[in-house]
Structure 1
Amino acid sequence: MTKHTIILQPSGRRGQVDEGTSVRSAARELGVEIESICAENATCGKCMVLIEEGRFEKYNIDSKQAHLSPVGTEERAYLERRPKLLKEKGWEIGQVRLSCQCKVYGDVLINVPEESRGNKQIVRKSASNREIEIKPAIRKYLVTMSPPNLERPIADWERLAKGLETSMRLVHGNDAVLPRWYDLEIDYQCLRTLSKTLREAKWSVTVSVWQDKEVIAVQPGYHEESYGAAVDIGSTTVALYLCNLRTGELLAAESEMNPQIVYGEDVMSRIQYAIEHPDGLEKLHRAIISTLNKLLKQAAQTAFIKTDEILEMVLVGNSTMHHILLNLHPKDLGLAPFVPAIHKSVDIKARELGLQINPSGNIHVLPTIASFVGADTSAMILAEEPHKQDENWLLIDVGTNAELVLGNRKRLVCTSTPTGPALEGAHVEYGMRAAPGAMERVHIDEVTLEPKYKVIGVEGWNTDHAEFKGQVKGICGSAIIDSVAELFRTGIVDSRGKFNKTLDSKRVREGESGWEYVIAWSEETSIGRDIPITQQDVRQIQLAKAALFTAARTLLKRFGLQDPDKVILAGGFGSFIDKEKAMLIGLIPDCELENVYAVGNAAGDGARIALLNIEKRNEIDAVTRKVERFELPTDPDFQNQFMLATSFPHMSEPFPHIAHLIPNRVADPMAKNFIK
């Protein structure tokens, strides 16, 4: 029977399905649950999906609406009864389909919206507890004025400005350097409603001032609290933290998969999409703005406030996310010499971007550092403060594009490297992102070669349960690292990643696409198939870890160091990596294991620090101007170093701190071919 490729985002699952299979059934085969409560009768609408059209070079497919069966009578009737939904979402019939009704007749890329997902993605970007000195950019002042009369018919703004000058001096003291009333400014949107507000408030108002120079909100009566949001826009996930600007209290944290995944899993594929499609940038920009507005609304509801009470946002992201957010075309980021549109930090009105907070509110975007070292790295530096240390710290934000910073108070150097989505579950045969049903930990017994594993949403190891059936859907990033490390540690694969074909174990076998090790038998899974780690999966991890290690080694070499004093793993994914196993496969440089730390979402924490303390914005502006940027492609020895790093843990480096785990390790004779 004819088969076609179906790709499901944002889960990243893909596979070949028989022609005529319904999209919902195909998704289920691939371990992606799509909601439905109407027994597939086209009446509940819970299974809506979006069909993406165009050429997707990364996947080598042409996705078209015509590759699905035509919209049927019941399906069309359901959608036509909901014109408001279609208008709000900007969807058209044919673009949006009921997955239970449409069948696959060609290659197709499908976006499963958040509300249709049965197994919700787990976004691991929680905020950490940090002591932050509160010095926000937004301050509130109570201003009471005399109403105008014929003797003193002063204009409303000038009357407010004079009263505001008095209030500011009462709060800050007469010695403070503050603008005079005639130097104060008012945002145009705020000015439009000023006269009405002053009169309704009987000339007693609370004034919100940005950086003690611009009035951005005027509220009747006395209001004490101000609100702001810090956002980390990652290639894979978006995390938003709503804060009280007066107290620093975290009021709500919301997160979601980055909707741009539909257009490409890594930054280069999104740049390519923007270049190849005339409306590519518009789609990418609209997708992230829509998601940010959704998260803002959710956070405001959680905190029992209105979104227009949010007066400032601080946003960070890698250089590509930064450009797409600001609606700057990322074309030149993807072409040599890889130049961004701007490095310095940006302040822009919320209404300019369509962000649904107070329209006069300020959006602050932290500075970028290099072509692919963006505002998220600036935020990571701000959170971890390597520029204030005597030791040499290596900071690594692990993701589809890894950013690295090495240094101390005297000097910082940075670089970036694409690691691809394999570390997060994509491009691995049964890989998936973190969600219920995904393996998250794997251990293999070195004698019996039998595995045990942990599954998200299930307590304990699978071996702790008398009967363990139908629980597993796939393998997420942390378990992929574990699996490859365990295969190497137990001798199932050698240092070059090749399977040992002589082992007496039914789990080591030759599959359809080469040798593999079966972690879960079909009866243990919910997809009805064995879940192995294949030779190709091992190869994908070798390429990803070699890229990351080579970037780290290059920075260390430029610093004249063999090893860093401390390795800090940042990012949601980095926090869930087993540091010993990461070192065992050579993902990170050798170091005392007690000096390897996971710090969670440092970029999100840095954004929160910049939101709550304006002095930190000035600090990171100054620090980033001094960071040395190094582009890996300019290193003539990069290719040789990369080849050396493809072995586990490395072709030539000793890795003394994990040597006890691989006592029979011998030198690789191929190393001499790549050492100059």
Structure 2
Amino acid sequence: MHGMKIEDFSSKREYEIFERAKNQILKCGMEFKTYVRKDYLELDLPNLNDNISDFERLKRHIKNHLNCSNVFCRLPILRKIPQLLREADFKVTITHIPRGVGKTTIIDIEKGDTTDKIYGVAVDIGTTSVAACLVDLYNGELIAKASSGNAQIKYGADVINRIMYSTKGNGLQELNHAVIQETINPLLNKMYMDSGIRKEQVVSFVTAGNTTMSHLFLGLYSNFLRMEPYIPAFVKTPFIKASELNIEVNPETFIYLIPCVASYVGGDITAGVLSSGMWNTEDNILFIDLGTNGEIVFGNKEYLMTCACSAGPAFEGGEISCGMRASGGAIEKVKIGSDYEPIISVIGNEKPLGICGSGIIDLICSMMFAGIIDRKGKIVKNLKTNRVRFDENGIGEYILVFKEQYDLDRDVSITDVDIDNFIRAKAAIYSGITTLLNNLGMDFTMIDKIYIAGGIGNSLNIGNAVKIGMLPDIDQHKINYIGNSSLMGCYLTLMSEDARHKLEEIANHMTYVELSVDPLYMDQFVSACFLPHTDIEKFPSVKKLLDKSI
């Protein structure tokens, strides 16, 4: 398998994360061999003495040369065979999926030898954002990448609101249309345009999402997910044809949806655990997905415990007045001086259009230490700066970028309401960690490593995340950002049938803890809705810094 190029990624850090995940799979002895195969065939020409049907001729050759006695195909492939064989002088390439010993299913047939051209797509369906990559299945190289907001956002920022909308009239169909026709297919077409690859050449598709996104992707009734006892319609689906969902790839392509675990822990977490490698270590690993559902996994090769804490979309810029995804124009780093003036870094060195999750963490942390906000997250009045203002209702606002600086339509700012939304999101994560560990009779001292995943941005400052009370105050060398682990897991599954089998083992191995029935969780949540926490003794390193800043 060829190595990836740094220029294929948005940053060197993302490249290093990708290489680490790939190497973990290889070190485990797994083979990078996709479940889809391509073989070039030179069939015997028909004559009066050998006048079997075209399909029987094809099957005979496959049996003799590929050792498959049971060959299947669907009607669209059968319709292609007669003319295509003759146009190609009976020299063709079949794309097929072996299904056990001596069995295979043909999903495409082409003229000539095209065995060096085989492509697949990996898609992470997030509640707020969707990311995809187009991959050369022959050598594993990344051909194109694309991402966008999930068009379902107009029906609700979180999964509960979308589930409720899905029960109204044509709501379910609208949500399914939004994620496939308005989000995934445009991303696919953009990648085809960028790469020059035709959709008919894409013969493998792996996707993952939380359990609600997975249901809505398939157009399944999902209302029971939010009702006790929180039962999903499925956790693992059979392979589904792309034509059944109208996805813009080869219509005979099988769609593989990564298995979910429970009502609020989906295939995106299964994929993330795979790519993190925590399933293959004796260390106690804490895996945190900083997405809308705020899923957390704790464990190692012996056990995996998981929960979800409904953090909301703030980590990806949702429900923040000037929030946006970690894409071009997003402020990803912020530092505020004693004069209340900010220094910012913008993704792509473009003009600032808004602020993404990593930038919001930096901003709130800097505002706290600069004295712009108090420990409740409220903007302080009577500061000597034109960057702070209050509306007629007393809601404070800090101006990060004045619109006149870059000829923008509005100032880029953060308000008391935004800060409150973000504090609730970080409190959900911290209280989820605390409650999950408590269920295991463990505490922060027993954590060997923390892996942070999600689309929060490659510039996530771990130290600042600790200072605002989002992550526990432990040795920060133990904490690592591993990027979009769901997309990474989809890629690994796309490239390796061994990884797919391991993935299904992981899903079966995880034990789900329902936080909504644990009274400790709400107590912990309320205590964590403070900067960094109502009990400052839980954050000794932050306490020292705050004492110095007074």
Query: What CA distance in whole angstroms lies between the structure 2 residues aligned with 1:532 and 1:556?
Result: 36
Partners of 2:127 and 2:150 within 8 A in 1: yes
In 2 relative to 1, CA 357–501 (structure 1 residues): closer, same or farther, beyond 3 Å? Answer: closer
Please give the residue correspondences for 1:387-426 in structure 2 after superposition, counting only pairs within 5 Å: 387-426=279-318
TM-score, normalised on structure 2?
Answer: 0.87
Give how far 1:515 is off: 5.5
In 2 relative to 1, CA 426–208 (structure 1 residues): closer, same or farther, beyond 3 Å? Answer: closer
Q: Is 1:189 matched with 2:81?
A: no
Partners of 1:206 and 1:220 within 8 A in 2: yes
Partners of 1:235 and 1:267 within 8 A in 2: yes
Q: Is 1:338 matched with 2:230?
A: yes
In 2 relative to 1, CA 339–592 (structure 1 residues): closer, same or farther, beyond 3 Å? Answer: same
Q: Specify the alignment match of 1:287 in structure 2.
A: 178
SS of 2:474 mapped into structure 1: coil
Q: Specify the alignment match of 1:569 in structure 2.
A: 452
Which of these residues, 661, 670, 676, is aligned with residue 545 of structure 2?
Answer: 661
Query: What CA distance in whole angstroms lies between the structure 1 residues aligned with 2:389 and 2:83?
Result: 77
Q: Is 1:625 matched with 2:508?
A: yes
Q: Specify the alignment match of 2:523 in structure 1.
A: 640
Which of these residues, 398, 417, 423, is aligned with residue 536 of structure 1?
Answer: 417
Which of these residues, 165, 168, 174, is aligned with residue 63 of structure 2?
Answer: 165
Partners of 2:326 and 2:455 within 8 A in 1: no
Which of these residues, 462, 466, 481, is aligned with residue 583 of structure 1?
Answer: 466
Query: What CA distance in whole angstroms lies between the structure 2 residues aligned with 1:220 and 1:184?
Result: 19
In 2 relative to 1, CA 292–272 (structure 1 residues): closer, same or farther, beyond 3 Å? Answer: same
Residue correspondences, number: 521
TM-score, normalised on structure 1?
Answer: 0.72
Q: Write the letter of the residue equivalent to 1:165.
A: K
Partners of 2:316 and 2:455 within 8 A in 1: no
SS of 2:519 mapped into structure 1: coil
Partners of 1:570 and 1:598 within 8 A in 2: yes
Which of these residues, 259, 262, 267, is aligned with residue 367 of structure 1?
Answer: 259
Q: Is 1:326 matched with 2:326?
A: no
1:123-143 alpha-carbon deviations (Å, 9 max, x no partner): 999773434642111111222
Please give the residue correspondences for 1:104-253 in structure 2 after superposition, counting only pairs within 5 Å: 128-129=18-19, 130-131=22-23, 133-169=31-67, 180-181=68-69, 183-211=70-98, 213-225=104-116, 226-253=118-145
Q: Specify the alignment match of 1:60 in structure 2.
A: none
Query: What CA distance in whole angstroms lies between the structure 2 residues aligned with 1:262 and 1:515?
Result: 26
Query: What CA distance in whole angstroms lies between the structure 1 residues aligned with 2:13 and 2:171?
Result: 28
1:458-484 alpha-carbon deviations (Å, 9 max, x no partner): 47xxxxxxxxxxx65544332222222
Measured on the aligned residues, the alpha-carbon RMSD in Å equals: 2.8
Give how far 1:255 is off: 2.0
Query: What CA distance in whole angstroms lies between the structure 2 residues aligned with 1:246 and 1:432?
Result: 36
SS of 2:508 mapped into structure 1: helix
Matched-pair identity in %: 35
Please give the residue correspondences for 1:478-493 in structure 2 after superposition, counting only pairs within 5 Å: 478-493=358-373
Q: Is 1:310 matched with 2:222?
A: no
Give how far 1:347 is off: 0.8
Which of these residues, 343, 365, 374, is aligned with residue 494 of structure 1?
Answer: 374
Q: Write the letter of the residue equivalent to 2:184.
A: L
Give how far 1:504 is off: 5.6
Give how far 1:440 is off: 2.9
Give how far 1:388 is off: 0.5
Give how far 1:322 is off: 0.8
Query: What CA distance in whole angstroms lies between the structure 1 residues aligned with 2:268 and 2:234?
Result: 15
Partners of 2:73 and 2:105 within 8 A in 1: yes
In 2 relative to 1, CA 251–661 (structure 1 residues): closer, same or farther, beyond 3 Å? Answer: same
* More RCO (CA 8 Å, sep 6+): 2
Q: Write the letter of the residue equivalent to 1:534.
A: T
Please give the residue correspondences for 1:49-64 in structure 2 after superposition, counting only pairs within 5 Å: none
In structure 2, list runs of 5 or more residues that go unmatched: 1-9
Partners of 1:401 and 1:418 within 8 A in 2: yes
Q: Write the letter of the residue equivalent to 2:502.
A: E
1:282-317 alpha-carbon deviations (Å, 9 max, x no partner): 111112222322222222233322211111111111
1:146-166 alpha-carbon deviations (Å, 9 max, x no partner): 233444433322321221122
In 2 relative to 1, CA 149–448 (structure 1 residues): closer, same or farther, beyond 3 Å? Answer: closer
Partners of 2:362 and 2:461 within 8 A in 1: yes
Q: Specify the alignment match of 2:438 in structure 1.
A: 557
Between stretches 423-432 and 160-169, larger displacement belongs to 423-432
Q: Write the letter of the residue equivalent to 1:388.
A: N
Q: Write the letter of the residue equivalent to 1:613.
A: S
Q: Specify the alignment match of 2:427 in structure 1.
A: 546
Give how far 1:407 is off: 0.8
Query: What CA distance in whole angstroms lies between the structure 2 residues aligned with 1:329 and 1:576?
Result: 38
Partners of 2:144 and 2:191 within 8 A in 1: yes
Give how far 1:234 is off: 1.3
Partners of 1:125 and 1:239 within 8 A in 2: no
Give how far 1:635 is off: 0.7
